[in-house]
Amino acid sequence: MPEALGWLLFLLLLARYPVQTLIGLAAIFVVAWVFRKPSGDTSTSRGNAMTVTPAAMDARTADGRFPLLNEDWAGEIVLAIDDEEVPDVIRVHGARFKNPARYVIDLGHGEYLLYGSDGELLDLCYLR
């Protein structure tokens, strides 16, 4: 019965004040859309950086030195930027970014991936 009264009130308002009722209804939908609960997608727009969950904290790189900050790191050997295996020119280049490089993956053949401290992919470098 209360639902029928609600519809009756809505139809009465629509008949008496059609423009105001439709504007109010549109405003309710806009407010509901603005304050809606976000969808289940928790990915970021910053490369493939992962959201850190307790389960992800247990995941480590292939050599076990670092936690997985980026899904690309799974199965890779990640080096710190100040590791002696990283060439000086790569270190200098990595320091130029607004978010300076902290991690490096050596792909071989003079190719290096630079990552920031949050796991964001910064650059793919080639040495000649």
pLDDT tens, residue by residue, 63-106:
777 777 777 777 888 888 998 889 999 999 999 988 899 999 88
The boundaries of the domain holding residue 18 are 2-34
Same-domain check for residues 113 and 60: yes
Same-domain check for residues 29 and 88: no
49 falls within a domain: no
- What pLDDT is recorded for position 89? 92
Q: Render pLDDT for 45-71 as a digit per residue (tens, 0 to 9).
A: 445 555 555 555 567 777 777 777 777
Same-domain check for residues 73 and 29: no
Q: Return mean pLDDT, the chain.
A: 80
Q: Distance between CA 38 and CA 49 in Å, rounded?
A: 19
Threshold 0.75, pTM exceeds: no
Tally of structural domains, the chain: 2
3-state secondary structure of 16: helix
- What pLDDT is recorded for position 45? 46
